[in-house]
Amino acid sequence: MRKTTPLILLLIVAALIGSFFYSRARNRALTEELEKLQQEITALKTSSAKTENLLAAINKRLNPPPKTTWIGIDDDPMLGKKDAPVTIIEFSEFQCPYCARFALNTFPEIRKKYIDTGKVRFVFRNYPLAFHKNAAKAAEAGACAAEQGMFWNLHDILFQHHDTLTQENLNRYGKEAGLFMDDYLFCMESGKHTVEIQKDIRDGKRAGVTGTPSFFIGVTRKDGRIKGTILRGSEPFAAFRSLIEEKLQEAASMMVS
């Protein structure tokens, strides 16, 4: 037994030394692997940041911030209190299906929550598109109805029938709206509102209108103008509510200051 003891001790020492060097080699390999992983994580973070910046730039181009511009009114059809804190100016036309969608679905909610409660005045301005052959004549029909204080009656009926606005039907819709037909027909035949409608179109183009419907929402001023933020298309009520509430807060802060 005594003769084998040194051999056993030698084997134990050798095993310990081997284990030590194996452990060091393994730790070195693990350290190198961890360093590689850290480098890969750093590269991924850098790549992710670049991707996020690229996506943000693309989103900014596709969804630019709402444009704000000065725009006024004259004797355009209006709903609500003249001194309501917020004004909405709509550029629209009666043959446009998106305008009809707004008029029949979203507008009643705006009217109930904001116009009828004295918070918003709503102004309608004409912007008949050239490729809608009945739009210009329908705009004249609306102006003739406004002469009799019946614009909004006809407004609703025309949008309900936005795809059937022939001259014959415009006459029928005028009667349905309760207009005095002799005056209405004479007004329509005279073309007396053509200049006014063309002015609406010019004002709309200057303000940045490129299609219908387009809305300018801003704080009401005494001179009749607003610095309006533009909202394009037939947006849902939530989009209008968000912008209207923002302008109501702006109006309130202006009164305090």
Q: Give per-residue pLDDT as tens, 107-126.
A: 999 999 999 999 999 999 99
> Helix (H) and strand (E) counts for the chain?
9, 6
Looking at the predicted structure, is the pLDDT value of residue 56 above 50?
yes
- Tens of pLDDT, residues 185-195: 999 999 999 99
Q: Is it the case that residue 51 has pLDDT exceeding 50?
A: yes
* Per-residue pLDDT at 254: 83
pLDDT of 85 above 60:
yes
d(CA 115, CA 160): 21
Residue that has been written with the tokens 């947006």 in this structure: 235
Predicted confidence band of residue 242 (pLDDT cuts 50, 70, 90): very high
Give ∠ CA 152-82-124 in degrees, rounded to 5. 35
Element (H, E) at 196: helix 194-207
Least confident range from 132-146, 172-186, 242-256: namely: 242-256
Q: Which position has the token pair 């670049």?
A: 50
User: Of all residues in the chain, what percent carry a pLDDT higher than 90?
Assistant: 66
Q: Pick the range with the lowest mean pLDDT from 70-74, 146-150, 172-176, 249-253.
A: 70-74
Beta strands in the chain (DSSP E): 68-71, 78-79, 86-92, 120-126, 214-219, 226-232
pLDDT of 171 strictly over 50 = yes
In tens, the pLDDT along 180-218 reads: 999 999 999 999 999 999 999 999 999 999 999 999 999
pLDDT at 39: 78
According to CATH, the topology of domain 68-256 is: Glutaredoxin (3.40.30)
Count Cα neighbours of 72 within 13 Å in the Cβ-side half-sphere. 8
pLDDT at 224 over 70: yes
What's residue 1's pLDDT? 47
- Position 225 confidence tier, pLDDT thresholds 50, 70, 90: confident
Mean pLDDT of 15-42: 68
Please state, in angstroms and rounded to a whole number, the distance separating the CA atoms of residues 201 and 1.
114
